Amino acid sequence: DTGVSQDPRHKITKRGQNVTFRCDPISEHNRLYWYRQTLGQGPEFLTYFQNEAQLEKSRLLSDRFSAERPKGSFSTLEIQRTEQGDSAMYLCASSLEQGSYTFGSGTRLTVV
Per CB under 8 A, residues contacting another protein are: 31, 33, 35, 40-45, 48, 50, 55-56, 91, 97-106
The least CB distance from residue 75 to another protein, in Å, is 15
CB-nearer residue toward another protein: 2 or 14: 2
CB-nearer residue toward another protein: 86 or 90: 90
- The whole-angstrom separation of Cα 22 and Cα 5 is 8
- The whole-angstrom separation of Cα 85 and Cα 31 is 27
CB-nearer residue toward another protein: 21 or 48: 48
How many other C-beta atoms lie within 10 A of the C-beta of residue 72? 15
- The whole-angstrom separation of Cα 57 and Cα 49 is 9
